[in-house]
Structure 1
Amino acid sequence: MLPMYAWLSGVIPCMDAFCQRFFASTFMPISYYHWPEHFIWSCPSAFQKMEHHSRVLADKIKFYKNPDYFITDSYAYFGMVNIDDSLSKMDYLILGPLFSTPCSDETVHNFLHEGQLSGEAAEEMTQVFLNTPRVSFHQFLSMLSFLHLCINRKEINIAEHFDTRIGAMIQEDISKRYSNLMYDKREYLDFHNTFDLELQLIDCIKTGDAQKIKPLLLSYPAENQITGQLSNNPIRNRRNLFIVTTTLAARAAIAGGLDTEQAYQLSDLYIQECERTLRIEIMDTLSYTMLIDFATRVAKQKLPIQGMSKEVFDCLQFISQRPNEPLRVDDVADFIGKSRSYITRRFKEELGFDISSFIMRCKLEEAKSLLTYTDKPLSEISSYLCFSSQAYFQNVFKKKYGITPLQYRTDSASAKE
């Protein structure tokens, strides 16, 4: 069987079949012209009765490249693909009219006025509008580039091909859809009601108060929450909401003192897990687990972020991200571009402990994680965290936590069972 482009390119009699199949698949109006004089074929068929309408619009619609688009005063999108990929040739496919928002009476009236349509022709065109899907401006351009690829075997970069007009048109498109959406939302009092819950959850994570999260969520039953609609697909919509929630949680955790890299990596892992999940109830459990996890990790940090200088905060991030390096106080001072005595004094004044203590704390916290969630031997963990010997690592660990690393691993395994 010949590929689509071989079926289309240079075989004009097949264009009517192509238009029919395209329309049957997308319900987007498409026409075949010897532009602008002769109207050859169109789907839906109502367009074939409107040659006068076509000539009127043709005087206003101008195309300058292949493919190209034009937006009328009534915000109708028209796209063009030159079948022979030469603007000197006159055989075109015309996509449209298409709209990004539901057609109001005013929109329909304005379009009919532009095309000088009245009577039966106007009624038929109105019915076409009612049955035509709404498409965003970006969807419209994507479909136009797809048609160009099918017809002319050439792929385009949408942003480069249509240049800087895209940004302005997308903004205009979003503004129109926003106005229509807010009109309907106000009409039916259908408003988001989760802002207060979000603020309280963010505060729980920032303060490391994991115990408060469960009763807080129970006080806002999911069935009473009006959340955003980020996709028409229920699974995709819930995933998108999860991504937003996880992003907010990660930022709140960073504000609460969690190392930025830890927060970002944890956020990425939870989002990846959500992407693999196909059941909404599991996503709900994952969301709860994610919130608890971030709050718990912040609680373990227990750093007084409020009132902390940027210099000290940057030092904390620098140290937290390098538990596997043999850091010294001089390394931290060099990073911040200050003297050893200056940064040591600031650390003590703002945090109440010295830099060396925090370096060791980060190493031991990482050791606990490795002991709990990996099977790596003590010798490898000790070497990874840059302890001078395994014996020294074990002694420091026991002095800090009261048990040996192996006992900690055993206890952690029992707690998970």
Structure 2
Amino acid sequence: MDYLNFCKSYFSATSIPVNLLDNVNILYSSVRTVTNIPQYNDYYVPDDLPNFPCFSHYDPSIEYGIVRVQDTSIHIVIGPVFETEITPEILNAYLRENKIPFSERDKIQDFLCSIPRMNQLQLAKHLIFLHQAINNETCELSHFFPDYTPSADDMATNTRSNIGDEAKEYFNTYSNELRLYEIIKMGNEEELESYLNQIPLSILAKPMATSALRQAKNMFISTITNIVMIGAIPGGVSTEVAFELMGQYVQECEKLQSIHEIETLRYNMLVKFCQLSGKSHIPLGVSSDVFNSMNFIRSHTNEPITVTDVADNIEHSTSYVTNCFRKELGISPGAYISRCKLEEAKSLLMYTNMSLTEISNYLCYSSQSYFQNAFKKKFQLTPLQYRKKMQRIN
């Protein structure tokens, strides 16, 4: 097969970005082709990649999928894809993830906004298609969602028809529903997995329809409404993001024609909201204003932000932000901005081949010498000494 032309045709037909890799060598990249920007970061393909396709992401808001071309060193990576509209936070996360300078922001934003919105279930279907087309091998949704696999009875009959009265009474108690919402609110993925293994998703709601398919859809809508209102938003997920995601999930649910797919989508939805709540969870002893300011700073290390920008983000004065930071963290907002930029610099020195000039420009330092001096003052090593030290260790 001509994989290069296959990838180009797939991107042309779907508008979903594609990357063709031979080991670490990039043979084709939709992003690079359309935006005409250099490749600032190497794509990472795990060494233990399974034979069947899989998901990959660094940030919960940015999804990729990988298909291995069997018996070769070639991989096809599709993505990034996004469930929601591109927010400034998602855009900055993508720029940081790919080490793209702030100067390329507008080009990247235009390209990302052109990508069709897609959730994990839809992404899985694309990967199944690609795997079958390339490797002539079928792949099931259970490969992507191994922690939840409905039984044959669940898929073929009403989702409550084979449940005993005792199980119904236990699993549908109000306390168990509240426990689920609290897990989502706290963003505890491990506890969510344990909970879902104990309590199947197919019995988390009361009968609301005579049709098994309509029942599953009604249950989905009921669950996601409560998850958003009682779990995700109180857990720190912004109202805008939560309701946009809810709308996307409900629209996708209404399109589905099998209970199996609806249950899989619901599992995916619960995990997604749990991840977002965990990312937004406010630690003890930190106010919401300081926490939101910290997140804003961490997500804008590749921009020339100031304390005024931080204050504007939470709609307070600079003196208010400065006082809160000193009281709760013991440092000024400016010092925290500097700390985050220098920690980002450490990662760039360790995991990329970017030069000191490139790193300095990427992190928006006024000059390379200023960056080097700030780094040495903080870590007692010059940037190059730190890079050599970490290379010896690794």
- Common fold: TM-score over 0.5: no
TM-score, reference length from structure 1: 0.35
TM-score, reference length from structure 2: 0.37
Which has the bigger relative contact order, CA under 8 A and spacing at least 6? 2
